[in-house]
């Protein structure tokens, strides 16, 4: 019976084309809606993207619909598309729509956060040189998001900024700063002590800096967290990444 209700609810959402107005919501709030559950399967994720696209066509100067559109483009590119050129196209659009959102409303923490994501994924798709050139852009957008709403999605802006600080070369080549990186990741964990992504970022930083024993502790803590069924796609990917990190760390420490 519950499955039938869920099916009927999904059907109603799709038939009305997403009649709910998502204005006034932030990223955290949107991800708790019934519509956000459509992200969890490839087919319905594209249907949700179409619903958001229709809202954007009706409200082209809405910062919220622009960054929400960017967020869905990123999600589909990262979780469902495998072709390089398609990913590149989707991540370029992620950057462009979130950039428009920032221009419409410079006081939107969500717009700045998704622009940071857009810059990062676009750079990743275009190669390491572009990544170097966009490091300061990613850092700046994370900083603006933090200034506006530091607790956005369990402190994720701190975690991303921490990784930029840790992995980028230092001055004068780029914005790298190990001290600031570790301050930021601790802030991220303060805002999201049960958010697995923060531990994945922390573990990767420690691996990058050769601190394998510390990384092992962080990985185990991240893997021990209960599975969050609200974000199953993200959880599956992060757990898989942490398991890969665990293999790397055990190899470096000569552990079975």
Distance of CA 69 to the CA centre of its chain: 14
Residues 143 and 179 in one domain: no
Residues 149 and 175 in one domain: no
pLDDT, tens digit (0-9, with 9 covering 90-100), for 51-92: 999 999 999 999 999 999 999 999 999 999 999 999 999 999
In a domain, 75, yes or no: yes
pLDDT, tens digit (0-9, with 9 covering 90-100), for 97-108: 999 999 999 999
pLDDT, tens digit (0-9, with 9 covering 90-100), for 143-155: 999 999 999 999 9
pLDDT at 89: 96
Does residue 16 carry a pLDDT above 50?
no
Q: Are 191 and 146 in contact (CB under 8 A)?
A: no
In terms of Cα–Cα distance, which of 77, 138, 66, 171 is closest to 108?
Answer: 66
Measured between its terminal Cα atoms, the distance across the chain in Å is: 47
Does residue 244 carry a pLDDT above 70?
yes
90, burial (CB in 10 Å: exposed 0-12, middle 13-18, buried 19+): buried
For residue 29, what are the CA distances in angstroms to 33, 181, 228, 254?
7, 28, 16, 44
Confidence of residue 14 (pLDDT cuts 50, 70, 90): very low
Residues 149 and 209 in one domain: no
Give me the domain span that covers residue 103.
Answer: 21-153
Across residues 231-235, what is the average pLDDT? 97
Does residue 239 carry a pLDDT above 70?
yes
In a domain, 205, yes or no: yes
Q: What is the DSSP-derived secondary structure letter of residue 147?
A: H
pLDDT, tens digit (0-9, with 9 covering 90-100), for 110-142: 999 999 999 999 998 988 666 778 999 999 999
Q: What is the DSSP-derived secondary structure letter of residue 18?
A: S
In a domain, 26, yes or no: yes
Rounded-to-5 percentages of helix, strand, coil across the chain: 75, 0, 25
**3-class SS at 48?**
helix
pLDDT at 51: 95
In a domain, 113, yes or no: yes
Dihedral sign for Cα 73, 75, 80, 86, please: positive
Domain final position from 99, 120, 153:
153
Does residue 240 carry a pLDDT above 70?
yes
Residues 132 and 223 in one domain: no
CATH code of 217's domain: 1.25.40
Neighbours of 8 (CB within 10 A): 10
Residues 82 and 43 in one domain: yes
pLDDT at 172: 78
Q: Rounded to whole angstroms, how far apart are CA atoms 225 and 242?
A: 12
In a domain, 115, yes or no: yes
Residues 134 and 186 in one domain: no
The structural domain count of the chain equals 2
Domain final position from 105, 122, 153:
153
Residues 139 and 235 in one domain: no
pLDDT at 22: 78
pLDDT, tens digit (0-9, with 9 covering 90-100), for 23-60: 889 999 999 999 999 999 999 999 999 999 999 999 99
Q: What is the DSSP-derived secondary structure letter of residue 227?
A: P
pLDDT at 7: 41
Calculate the average pLDDT of the chain: 91
Furthest-apart CA pair in the chain: how many Å? 62
Residues 45 and 139 in one domain: yes
pLDDT at 174: 84
pLDDT, tens digit (0-9, with 9 covering 90-100), for 192-227: 999 999 999 999 999 999 999 999 999 999 999 999
CATH code of 146's domain: 1.25.40.10
Q: Are 112 and 148 in contact (CB under 8 A)?
A: yes
In a domain, 61, yes or no: yes
Does residue 10 carry a pLDDT above 80?
no
Residues 143 and 89 in one domain: yes
Domain final position from 127, 153, 179:
153
Residues 135 and 37 in one domain: yes
Does residue 185 carry a pLDDT above 60?
yes
pLDDT at 32: 94
Residues 125 and 48 in one domain: yes
Q: Rounded to whole angstroms, how far apart are CA atoms 86 and 97?
A: 16
Q: Are 256 and 227 in contact (CB under 8 A)?
A: no
Confidence of residue 19 (pLDDT cuts 50, 70, 90): very low
């Amino acid at each position: 019976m519950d499955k039938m209700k869920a099916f009927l609810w999904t059907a109603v959402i799709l038939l009305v084309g997403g009649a709910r107005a998502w204005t006034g919501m932030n990223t955290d709030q949107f991800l708790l809606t019934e519509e956000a559950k459509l992200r969890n399967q490839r087919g319905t994720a594209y249907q949700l993207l179409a619903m958001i696209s229709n809202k954007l066509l009706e409200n082209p100067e809405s910062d919220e619909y622009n960054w929400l559109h960017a967020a869905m483009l990123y999600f589909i590119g990262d979780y469902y598309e495998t072709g390089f050129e398609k990913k590149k196209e989707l991540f370029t659009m992620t950057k462009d729509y979130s950039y428009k959102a920032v221009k419409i409303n410079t006081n939107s923490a969500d717009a700045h956060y998704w622009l940071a994501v857009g810059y990062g994924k676009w750079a990743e798709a275009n190669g390491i040189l572009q990544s170097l050139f966009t490091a300061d852009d990613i850092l700046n957008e994370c900083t603006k998001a933090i200034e506006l709403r530091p607790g956005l999605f369990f402190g994720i802006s701190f975690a991303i900024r921490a990784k930029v600080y840790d992995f980028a070369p230092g001055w004068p080549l780029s914005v790298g700063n190990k001290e600031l990186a570790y301050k930021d990741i601790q802030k991220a964990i303060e805002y999201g002590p049960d958010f697995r992504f923060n531990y994945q970022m922390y573990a990767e930083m420690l691996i990058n800096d050769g601190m394998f024993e510390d990384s092992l502790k962080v990985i185990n803590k991240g893997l021990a967290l209960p599975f969050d069924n609200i974000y199953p796609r993200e959880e599956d990917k992060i757990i898989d990444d942490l398991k890969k990190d665990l293999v790397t760390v055990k190899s470096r420490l000569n552990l079975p």
